Chain A
Amino acid sequence: MEKTKITKFRWFWPWQDEAEENWLEKMSQKGYHLSSVRLPCFYKFLVAEPRDYVYRMDYQTFHKKDKQEYLQLFQDAGWEYIGEMSTSQYFRKEAKQGETIEIFTDVESKIAKYKRVLAFLWVFWIPLLVIFGGRILTDSPYPWWGVIQVIIIFILLLFTYAIIRLVIRIRQLRKL
């Protein structure tokens, strides 16, 4: 029997949203249509006939009530909602001529989108730094302290890297 579903594991940074959208579009052209997403980076695809789909992503966090309204807006505009992974919202539309295939139609709203991810990252980065910042390089009597130090430093570096790249992306957009 042929497989009807496949799952892929692939990592994208938040500033690589265009690359991610392209990848999903190429998958659809090969007949793999995104059906759900799950943390940390699992993509589930339904196997079917190849189609020309446009995929678009947004970064949003909201309350349940606001989400309904948000999704309604996209639905009315012809976008199918696939799901969310952390703050990423996935939408799909069949590519048709003469129709808008962008969900963000100006630079300001694209910048605002990356700023929402930034805000989300700060929320984790600042407390981590405050809690561990002073203690991170000190010696400790616990034998496993070294392991924790490495993990925390790694997470902090990861977040710092992500924040810097996002700031660069926002700067690039501002110059447009």
Chain B
Amino acid sequence: MAAGDDTKRYLPLTEATYYIMLALIEPLHGYAVMHKVEQISQGTVRVGPGTLYGVFDTLVAAGLIVKVISLHRRGRKFYWVKSRGWKL
């Protein structure tokens, strides 16, 4: 492990966090993330907006995902996993 790499301290991930990060392999906005999580978990995991907002907040603060501002859809922020997040 490289010096200063503290990504491991975010482990273990909650089930919701794990699926949300998986969904963010491509930049998506909030509602699309909810859909994709349901899809990739084959309907076993559903994420409510309250839970999702909290996870976004934590992951952005941790520097594991990045917020991308869209020019086309005003008001909707997109999120994308950063390379640092992939290590997890």
Contact = CB atoms under 8 A, between A and B. Distances in A.
B4 interface: no
B54 A109 contact: yes
A103 B49 contact: yes
A53 interface: no
A112 B54 contact: yes
A69 B49 CA distance: 11
A44 interface: no
User: Which secondary structure dominates where chain B touches chain A?
Assistant: helix
B34 interface: yes
Nearest to B17: A108
Interface residues of A, number: 21
A100 B46 contact: yes
Contacts, number: 59
A105 B31 contact: no
B14 A73 contact: no
Contacts of A105: 16, 45-48, 51
A77 B31 CA distance: 6
Contacts of A102: 48
B53 interface: yes
A90 interface: no
A49 interface: no
A106 B31 contact: no
Contacts of A109: 16, 48, 50-51, 54-55
Contacts of B15: 106
B50 A104 contact: yes
B49 A74 contact: yes
A74 B54 CA distance: 12
Contacts of A56: 50
B85 interface: no
B52 A108 contact: no
A69 B77 contact: yes
14 contacts: A70-B53, A72-B75, A74-B50, A76-B29, A77-B31, A77-B34, A77-B49, A102-B48, A103-B49, A104-B51, A105-B48, A108-B14, A108-B16, A113-B50
Given A72-B30, A105-B47, 20 more contacts: A56-B50, A69-B77, A72-B75, A74-B50, A76-B29, A76-B30, A76-B49, A77-B34, A77-B49, A103-B50, A103-B51, A104-B48, A104-B50, A105-B16, A105-B51, A106-B14, A106-B15, A108-B16, A109-B50, A112-B54
Interface of A: 56, 58, 68-70, 72-74, 76-77, 79, 100, 102-106, 108-109, 112-113
